[in-house]
A and B are shown apart, each in its own frame.
Chain A
Amino acid sequence: MSKRRGCLVAFFSRDKREVGYVWPVVFAVLVHVVVVMFSVINLESKDAEPEPSSIVHATLVSTETYTDQAQQANDNQVTSNVPSQPPEKTPPQEEPTPPSRPLEKAVIDQAEELAEARETQALEEARAKAEAQAQRRTEEAERRALEAAARETERAEQQAEEQRRREELARQEQEAEAQRRREEEQARQAQEAKEQRLREEKLARQAQEAEAQRRREEEQARQAQEAAEAERQRQLEGQAEAAADARQAEQAANSFIAIVRRAVEQAWLIPGGASDTMTATIQVRLGPSGEVLATSVAISSGDSAFDRSAIQAVEHVAPFTELRELSAEQQRSLRQFNLRFTPGDVR
């Protein structure tokens, strides 16, 4: 009692000279926690490695074909993706450029034509003006001559005046005509330019529409491809699942057969006179709960004692209750099987 109290005092003591137990306890717990953590972490990393089991071979074969398929599918995907992309990509960049090139040319041609027309017009005008001026000068000279002749007659003068006025009018008319013609020409040209522009716009719009259309089509194609891809993926998964199921079933069947074989092997008392090369195949039929319904010699070894010993071994081990653990389908397939007995196998 007193010792325990002493212990307690020491435990809670804050005496400088006596070492308490609080910190040691904390440290000790810490050490253990660290060790446990390390062991857990190590085991987790070890778990990642595939563990060898007795049916590794079967598993490996099935996964090989399965992954191969997936690989092929992936390859297909890649190859189908690679060529389909470039041809779709290249045309859109070239398409908008060709229409713009002729358009430009046309515009330039037009402008040249326009300039020529304007030049010829200007020439014509200049000629007309020169003619008019010359005429006027001759007329003036005449008039001056007439005046110098001291006005032969008022009428003549008036006539000349009139004529001059008429000519002036004609000239003005001619000028107005020329002006009008020029304006008309310009208006026509403007209209033509406008039309040209409209045409260009239309072309651009059409190009744009074509682009949009193409893009839409592309999108649709891509979606279709994706859908197909998903479908394929699903199929693959389904296949994988089916493969896994099949594998499991196969494993179960394998294990059942292994159990039966081992049990029979252990129970088999090989008759003394049997040689290693003797072989007997016994057909076994099982009931639903694993009991042996019938055994018969499928292929005899030629030695009846040997055959009998094999049948006895099977009957000795029966019933095979493990059959009940399998699924109904497997049970049906495993109801009847053959067992081959060879002494060399066992020894």
Chain B
Amino acid sequence: MDISQLVVTGIANGCVYGLVALGFVLIYKATEMVNFAQGDIMMLGAFIAFTLSSQLEMPYYIVVPGTILIMAVFGMALERGVLRPMIGEPPFAVLMLTIGLGFVLRAIAGTIWGHQPNQLITPYSGGVIDIAGIRLDYEKLVIMGGTGVLCALMFLFFKFTRIGVAMQAASQNQLAAYYVGIPVNRVVSITWGISAAVAAAAALMVAPLWWIEPGLGLVGIKAFVAAIVGGFGSLPGALIGGIAIGLVEQLVGYTIPGFGETGAYVFLLLMLFIRPEGILATMQRKKV
């Protein structure tokens, strides 16, 4: 196998880890809690897309916005119904809750859709293009392009819009945010909505390549690793971390067959030894 193929696959997978990691970081920044169900939210997005397209036979141009919208609403409902009552509880309790939530979502998905792998067929499935001698599947091209577009949109959103700036403000100081007129509760709710929507977008792009099954939610663990490698709390870091993990996984898996995933975690350990604050550091070490 040619190295360029490994790199392409690594980057494409990495984009998906990166997008799920973005969800981790968004929620962490807004509320200082880590949502371990982030990967399972993506898994649910993949099943929604599968249901809309294969079972309800909707056209693909409706499946895409439909899935994203449904998941955004689901994310907000989750925050409202499950997480908001936990305000003021110890962080550890909230953490356990999100881990439990992941199990529940996987179990529910298993009950509704079963455990057999499904595949999402898209209008572009199976297409191949040759760019400068590198063979590119349309699926991977869409992942890379889509991730680029999503990142550009998020950049504009956070930099220029009132709600984007409000989200950044609330993530830095909730009390101050309240008194400059920011509805912090609503902002947190929207943050969950956006995280789930981004996870749904990632699901839509990756579902044609990976099998859709409840275990897909476990991609959240790798995305979490990506977020740490990137420097937890940094949005561009999450994406860079994701791509780094995707590449390491492919390259190690090629060099030592079967050890790709292990390679990703070893890479995390090495990062923690060498640069514990992550690639793009946002956290400062406490000075004593």
Asked if A pairs with B, the answer is no
B residues sitting closer than 8 Å to A (CB atoms) are: none
